[in-house]
Amino acid sequence: MEQNEPKTGKFALNFGVILGVVSVIFGLMLFSMDMHYDQGWAIRGVSLALTVAAIFLGILQFKKANEGYLTISQALKIGTGIALIAGIIGLIYFFLLSNVIEPDYMDKMYEIGKVKAMADNPNLTEEQIDQGIEMQKGFAWLTYPFILIMNIIIGLILGLISGLILKKQKPAY
């Protein structure tokens, strides 16, 4: 009697939702501590650690459900799926943050960027920096697909690494 192989999509969806919800909770925690403007290495590191943990655990759980067998293509599907689902949830949170929770979020981010640009490039005039910020505002809509594409690429890379570590082929006979 042949057993049904577990579906990669189910694991991608479950762990993607878990990662998305945990990421939103982390974002709300940063917001409550007024640290949501900080883009430092510690915050990015925690976010990356959450992503690595969710993808690795999702692939590991799939391997356990699949009688200990895992192919690299299955790991890639799960890693990419988890990152895609979590990315969509994260984008919904970012949209709500920047348009509903704190409508002037993007203006404050541009102001922080202006101060940083003045510190990094003292020979630029304020008019040149303002012109650069206005150009950024015109391309702000590209932020959403860019974040989603970067999430998918990270999920693909982490899925590949996890797949290489955990792979085990079924015997041919």
- Position 1 scores a pLDDT of 41
Radius of gyration for the alpha carbons in the chain, expressed in angstroms and rounded:
20
Closest listed residue to residue 47, CA positions, set 20, 16, 69: 20
- Position 73 scores a pLDDT of 95
Domain edges within the chain: 8-102+142-166
* pLDDT, tens only, 46-82: 999 999 999 999 999 999 999 999 999 999 999 999 9
- Position 44 scores a pLDDT of 93
The residue to which tokens 């694991």 are assigned: 11
Q: How far apart are CA 76 and CA 73, in angstroms?
A: 5
Residues of the chain with pLDDT under 70: 1-3
- Position 2 scores a pLDDT of 54
Return the axis-axis angle of helices 41-65 and 8-32, rounded to nearest 10°.
160
Read off the pTM: 0.87
- Position 3 scores a pLDDT of 66
User: Cβ-count burial of 60 within 10 angstroms (0-12 exposed, 13-18 middle, 19+ buried)?
Assistant: middle
